[in-house]
Amino acid sequence: MENFSEWFHNILEEAEIIDSRYPIKGMSVWLPNGFKIRKNILELLKKLLDKDHEEVLFPLLVPEDELAKEGIHVKGFEDEVYWVTHGGQKELNKKLAIRPTSETAMYPMFSLWVRSHIDLPMKFYQIVNTFRYETKHTRPLIRVREITTFKEAHTVHSTAKEADEQVKIAIGIYKEFFDLLGIPYLLSKRPVWDKFPGADYTMAFDTFLPDGKTLQIGTVHNLGQTFAKTFDITFETEDNAHEHVYQTCYGLSDRVIASVIGVHGDEKGLHLPPKIAPNQITIIPILFKKGSEEVIAKCEEIKLALELNGIRVNIDDRDIRPGKKFYQWELNGSPLRLELGPRDLKNNKAILVRRDNLEKIEIDLDSEYSEKINELFDDIYNNMKKTAWDKIKDSVIIIDNLKEVNNVIANGKVVSFSWCGEEECGKAIEEITDVDILGTQNENNEFSQNLNGKKCIHCENEAKYTGLMAKTY
């Protein structure tokens, strides 16, 4: 992929995902095909969350005084908030903010809802649109002014330990979700100067796009008691004392959808994991003058049989060359195509072609072919996931000298370095290199270096963390 940015722009248009010609910068229209992909992705997410979260829906608008209550928080958003000042021809008494995120909409209500320790924990989520007045260059799904798909979860706990535990649970849910989509990720604890405004600490997932930049695709925040104190959210303990609650929140956005497109796509176009593809298998009848009715009838029969097994199928029986259809459904990311012509019909066979590796597989139409196709879906998914993970693993380069940073970044890779973890030192590193620190690896995984005896790459004090640096979106 020569130019990812151009590729991404084109694929959104050609695969009819988003129409970005809407007459407001940074706001776009979800087209039917894009909407279906979005819906399938959200269904996977909801299934994970519904196990122990309750779905709710809060208003879009937040009164100015509520938004202003939490000073650190509002400071982080004040340049990005859209303000509603008029209703009809009249100026409003009190300005209303369009939510940039919903802490200040939700927490005044939480202070009414939480009464006793027996009410806790509470775990809510909502999927809504949020708004940021972005002054930087916008890009559909990645940097937008209307985030159309903002999933935000908010939890309330009676102890600090439980909130800390919830951060780990949320990370587990997000890992499972990204795994279902085959999206690889780097999980970092964000540097203190880059955490969510008002949070004690922020854990963040970044994925890696083909242009060598990382894209933040999910964050989990431990809010401690900061907001509880601001919004006076207290509970009665078992001993009849009154204490402030502990809170977490965690969010995902349209960027998850951008990363599915960007991570799996290739020169042929979109490449969708079978779980979320609107058309999991596309049937293309190969038609000649003679016998085309029988071929189409057989295709319809196969479609019905597959649908009975819960597979999403479409038939493309338009009167155009098969080659053109192959091209188009590869571009649309349909994971499998089934070709069936008069000779196949005679032999009661069909040809399957995999989108991931173009392998052709003959299937016997007398056999339990739905099962075979579901197995192929699993295989395609595993292959897509592995390919994506291999790429991100190959892209993280360990360096020993700060001078190497810009070279690695220029090569479209991610830098792994040993670090003391101190704010002053981190900021100096960012200034020297002009590259962002994603954060520290706090889990023992393939991205954690063995730090035994290592020194911080900059200040040469003892190294306490594996740090990651990358060119970011």
Q: Does 4 bind a copy of itself (CB under 8 A)?
A: no
Do residues 246 and 96 make contact, with C-beta atoms less than 8 angstroms apart?
no
Q: How far are the Cα atoms of 54, 127, 337 from residue 294, in angstroms, in the given order? A: 51, 46, 19
Nearest-angstrom CA–CA distance, 382 and 310: 20
- The region of 129-137, 185-193, 202-210, 288-296 touching a copy of itself under the rule CB under 8 A is 129-137
Residues 100-119 that bind a copy of itself (CB under 8 A): 105, 108-109, 112
Query: Which CB sits closer to a copy of itself, 142 or 363?
Result: 142
Instruction: Name the token pair of 465.
Output: 């963390």
Regarding 288 and contact with a copy of itself (CB under 8 A), the answer is: no
Binding residue for a copy of itself, selected from 11, 49, 67, 96, defined by CB under 8 A: 96
- Write the DSSP string, 312-325: -EEE---SS-HHHH
- CB closer to a copy of itself, 112 vs 308: 112
Pick the closest to residue 353 from 417, 284, 297 (CA basis). Answer: 284
Which span (30-38, 203-211, 256-264, 320-328) binds a copy of itself, by CB under 8 A?
A: 30-38
Only segment of 25-33, 346-354, 358-366, 451-459 that touches a copy of itself (CB under 8 A): 25-33
Minimum CB–partner distance for residue 89 and a copy of itself (Å):
7
Sign of CA dihedral 364, 366, 368, 373: positive
Which phi and psi (to 5°) does residue 240 adopt?
65, 20
- For residue 304, the minimal CB distance to a copy of itself (Å) is 17
39 binds a copy of itself (CB under 8 A): yes
List strand residue ranges (DSSP E) for 291-400, in order.
313-315, 336-340, 349-354, 360-364, 396-398
Measured distance CA(244)–CA(141) in Å, rounded: 37
| Contact flags string 51-80 toward a copy of itself, x per CB under 8 A | ---xxxxxxxx-x--x-----------xxx
Cα–Cα distance, 91 to 86 (Å, whole number): 4
Of the candidate spans 81-89, 151-159, 221-229, 371-379, the one that interacts with a copy of itself by CB under 8 A turns out to be: 81-89
The reply to whether 371 sits near a copy of itself by the rule CB under 8 A is: no
Count of residues in the chain: 473
Is 316 a binding residue for a copy of itself by CB under 8 A? The answer is: no
Residue 271 tokens, joined: 């490449």
Q: Is omega for the bond preceding 121 within 30 degrees of 0, making it cis?
A: yes
CB of 77 to a copy of itself, least distance (A): 9
Task: Please give the residue ranges that form the binding site for a copy of itself (CB under 8 A).
Answer: 19, 21-24, 27-32, 35-36, 38-39, 54-61, 63, 66, 78-90, 96, 98, 105, 108-109, 112, 124, 129, 131, 133, 135, 146, 148
